[in-house]
Amino acid sequence: MRYSPLVSLITLSLAFVSTAEPSLSPYSLHEKRSILPSGWTLTRRHDTTSTIPLRFALKQRNIDDIGKYLFEISHPDSPDYGNHWTAGDIARKFAPSDETIGAVRNWLISSGISDERIVVGRTKGWIQVDATVEEAERLMNTEYNVYTHIAGKEHIGCEAYHLPEDVQPHVDFVIPSVHFDAKLDRRSGGDSTQPARDIGQPGVGISPKSAGTVTELITELEQCDEYITPICLRALYGLVYEPVATESNSYGIVEYTPQAYLQSDLQMFAMNFSSDLIGKEPYMVSIDGGYAQTECQGFDYNGESDLDLQYGMTLVTGKQTVTLYQTGDMVEGASFNNFLDAIDGSYCTFEGGDDYTQDAIYPDENPGGYMGPETCGTVKPAYVISTSYGYNEADLTPFYAERQCAEYAKLGLMGVTVLYSSGDNGVAGNGGYCLNPNGTQTPDGMVFNPSFPGTCPYVTSVGATMVKPGATVLEPEMACMEVIYSGGGFSNYFAMPDYQKGAVDYYLTNYYPDYPATIWNSTGMSRGFPDISANGANYVVAIDGQFELVFGTSCSSPVSGAIFTMINDARLALGKKPIGFINPTIYSAGFADVFNDITEGTNPGCGTPGYNATAGWDPVSGLGTPNFPKLLEKWLALP
């Protein structure tokens, strides 16, 4: 598989087999599910006369080398550093070959599917055939069933499927098949019915936490251990900078409906903490019917967006326009894939396109839904994009996660810096859920549960720190251990990238976690996260007309994004290119000691104290918090 997903310490509830295990010659097993996901039962065989939309995700050319290509333009010692690709370059490099398209098409025709029924996607990433269940079963030597969840939802799929040996090398996967909905298939207990497109719904995924209202406003540095305001962050990270290249620079913040900011809250914040934002608003780009809804209000609907924009916009100053990517309508919602479709048209059909069991499908024919076409490649990506939402890695199938991870690599190739919050539950997943040995997730599980997309090696994962109680901004911070715990650990899906190997090996050699190998991925070969961190405690945020204290890595990501946006400003002002994918650079020897090392605190979860913050990289705070003057000096010295 593309990113060498690891043989993890756990048995995932979906075990995917890609080896040529023989079945009926000349067919071989392509994918197989080892156990049925929690909450589902096989109800009946599917009606053989029913029609299903079979989608064959075609193997992309050169996709196995995407990490190498990205490293070549992102490592500061590379002669190609900063030579970012165009969207056309990417399409040409990774489009499936004519041989692949021909192999699958010829197989379908020889199997009795007429040529006019075979649809090749616009970007040649997939082939679709509307087939009867009987035809699909014959094509793939399988049986299609109807599965029913305890919540009443039905799903069509199979236990395993086979492909001819000469076709297998040309197909990544087929849907519908062994894949189930995200979240719906992994959790037991509580509300487990949200697919990936519900990421914006209250209580789903990573979301900030409130510690109550603020009655006394503090605008000075004396109480930054109790109240974080913009002046505290500027002092902590040395962010004293006035942008000068605002016309050519860009910073984007992604929100998922029904999460929405209130302009009145932004102005309330501006009048108290950021006077240059008075009268200003973000530049909103509507994706798939997204809008700043006001029908539903309260912390659960406005807290995330208010936080992201008030601090993201303040730290880049009123001179720099901030783009708000408001994604999804009020009915269907949206997933990360829907946003990625909008900024990269090739992704709409890459490897079969979106998964209708996970992602929102537009036009939305539900009452009140957005009836316009799916937003596909019509939105320009900003140079830096911050997202404060996230899933548990185990919520998603490896194929779904890999497909999305490849897109982040493509954005990196185009010079985009992608930041994601690492999670707020330490080594546990969202909601405090941990893994069980069979791959399910429960509140009483004991196996560490990493987040996604933070575990994708092509994004920058951001953890959370805090000012120590009673300390000042001149003293080192510690890992956040009030209200939330910084998400961190080791992936069960993705291998350790080369750029990170030295830092993670040092941690595992000198500070090896004292836990049994059965509860964490102790192979020493998996992607470690987060990469960096920033303050995530005691933020003063205007929400629904009052100030509240807010905690979370939801704070850390937009703050980090603002800092990197200001570094881009300085480079652009000198005629240089944006910093793009930053991980190979920040882990390089030349960037040693440009982050403020965090050496105190842990990230508890799953019945354990979690990992320890230590000298150097650690799976609590990453490399540490940004030191803007040092980072600026280093990046201005690069070509």
CA distance 64 to 407: 13
CB 111 within 8 A of CB 34: no
247 is annotated as an active-site residue: no
Q: Write the DSSP string, 498-526.
A: GGGHHHHHHHHHHS---S-TTSS-TTS-E
Locate 305 and state its tokens.
């967006």
Q: Annotated catalytic residue: which of 135, 304, 344, 477?
A: 304
Query: What is the three-class DSSP state of 503?
Result: helix
Which residues have C-beta within 8 Å of that of residue 230, sequence separation ≥ 6? 273, 274, 311, 314, 315
Q: Is 97 a catalytic residue?
A: no
DSSP readout, 251-270?
EEEEEETT----HHHHHHHH
Between strands 251-256 and 322-327, the pairing is: parallel
Residues 404 and 459: their CA atoms lie apart, in Å, by: 11
- Tell me which of 308, 374, 402, 569 is the catalytic residue: 308
Q: What percent of the residues of the chain are helix, what percent strand, and what percent coil, each to the nearest 5? A: 25, 25, 50
Is 304 one of the catalytic residues? yes
Token look-up 């890459």 returns: 350
Q: Is there a contact between 554 and 208 (Cβ–Cβ < 8 Å)?
A: yes
Burial (CB < 10 A; 0-12, 13-18, 19+), residue 218, is middle
**Greatest Cα pair distance in the chain:** 76
374 contacts 362 by C-beta, under 8 angstroms: yes
| Alpha-helical runs (H) found in 15-86 | 66-74
For residues 490 and 527, the answer to whether their CB atoms sit within 8 Å is yes
CB-based contact 120:170 (threshold 8 Å): no
How far apart are alpha carbons 11 and 437 in whole angstroms?
6
Round to whole Å and give the CA distance between 480 and 421. Answer: 14
Residue 329 and residue 553: Cα distance in Å, rounded?
25
28, 526, 554, 560: the catalytic one is 554
* Residues acting as catalytic residues: 304, 308, 554
